[in-house]
Amino acid sequence: MENELNLQERRKAYWRANLKILAILMTIWFVVSFGCGILFVEQLNQIKLGGFKLGFWMAQQGSIYVFVALIFVYVRQMNKLDREFKFADNE
Question: What secondary structure, in 3-state letters, does the chain show?
Answer: CHHHHHHHHHHHHHHHHHHHHHHHHHHHHHHHHHHHHHHCHHHHCCCEECCEEHHHHHHHHHHHHHHHHHHHHHHHHHHHHHHHCCCCCCC
- For the entire predicted model, the pTM comes to 0.80
pLDDT tens by residue, 42-68:
898 899 878 888 888 888 888 899 999
Give 90's pLDDT tier (boundaries 50, 70, 90).
low
Q: What is the mean pLDDT of residues 10-22?
A: 95
Q: What confidence tens digit (pLDDT) does each residue in 22-44 have? A: 999 999 999 988 888 888 888 98
* Per-domain residue ranges of the chain: 2-84
pLDDT at 82: 93
Which residues 6+ apart lie within 8 Å of 88 measured at CB?
79, 82
